[in-house]
Structure 1
Amino acid sequence: MTIDWRYTIEQDLGVLSVAGYLGPDAVRRFSGAIGWVVARGTGPVVLDLTELRNWSAEGQVAITDAARLLAASGRGLELAAIPADGSLVPAGEGPDIPVHCDLAAALAAHGRGPRTPDDDRQEWRTDGWPTS
């Protein structure tokens, strides 16, 4: 099983939304999404996990690796809506990864209100991501 993703840039804030199960089979695709994010944006990135069903230890390590890669580019990573099991990305040596209860809280932390269809933003997604 793999994941689908959508990356949205609004001004200087990126939001990478992930759906599915972030397990060993999905780590490569997730890493590819992070590469896409690094190449196409500036500023902090919120990893929106609202549609993520769960994650494995490998998936959590991939998130930690993503935080390191973004930090090397001068960008931060924040999590929104971690999976229901309450587990967090492994602690250790690396950048701080703030956690928000949901995407609305993460956006509010950056002075953004709820998203609307009229927002000026760029967006990319995998073929499996719903368009509505």
Structure 2
Amino acid sequence: MTIEWRYTVEDGFGVLSVAGYLGPAAVRRFGGAVGWVVARGTGPVILDLTELRGWSVEGQLAITETARRLAGAGRSLELAAIPAEGSLVPPADCPDIPVHCDLATALSVHARHMSPPDEAQQAWRTDGWPT
């Protein structure tokens, strides 16, 4: 089982949404999505986990590695709507990862940076992204 993803660039930040199960089989694809994010945006990244059905230890480690990778690019990671079955406890050497209860709350933190609704956003997604 793998994941699907969608990345949207707003003014000053990005939103990476992930659907499916972030387990050992999906970690490589998730890493590819993160590479896409690093190459195509600036500012903080909100990792929207609203459609994520769950995650394994490997999936959680992939998220903490993402925080390190983004920090290396001068960016930060925030989480929105983490799976109900657990919380993410990053190692002490990991950058801070703010956690928001849902995507709306995370977006409200960045609302001053968002484009007006009539402006086109840049967005990319996998073919299987749920509609």
> What's the offset of the Cα at 1:86?
3.1
3-state secondary structure, aligned to 1:38: helix
3-state secondary structure, aligned to 2:104: helix
Q: How far apart are the structure 2 equivalents of 1:76 and 1:116?
A: 23
> What's the offset of the Cα at 1:116?
8.6
Task: Report matched runs for 1:42-57 at 5 Å.
Answer: 42-57=42-57
Q: 1:129 to 1:116 in 2, by over 3 A?
A: farther
Aligned to 1:103: 103
> What's the offset of the Cα at 1:11?
1.0
> What's the offset of the Cα at 1:91?
3.2
Task: Report matched runs for 1:1-132 at 5 Å.
Answer: 1-111=1-111, 118-130=118-130, 132=131
- Please, what TM-score do these two structures have when normalized by structure 2? 0.92
Q: 1:118 to 1:86 in 2, by over 3 A?
A: farther
- Please, what TM-score do these two structures have when normalized by structure 1? 0.92
3-state secondary structure, aligned to 1:54: strand
The one-letter code of the counterpart of 2:67 is: A
Q: 1:57 to 1:119 in 2, by over 3 A?
A: farther
* Contiguous gaps of at least 5 residues in structure 1: none
3-state secondary structure, aligned to 1:43: coil
* Contiguous gaps of at least 5 residues in structure 2: none
> What's the offset of the Cα at 1:119?
4.6
User: What fraction of aligned residue pairs are identical, expressed as a percent?
Assistant: 73
Aligned length, in residue pairs: 131
| RMSD, matched Cα | 2.0
- Worse-superposed segment, 71-80 or 110-119: 110-119
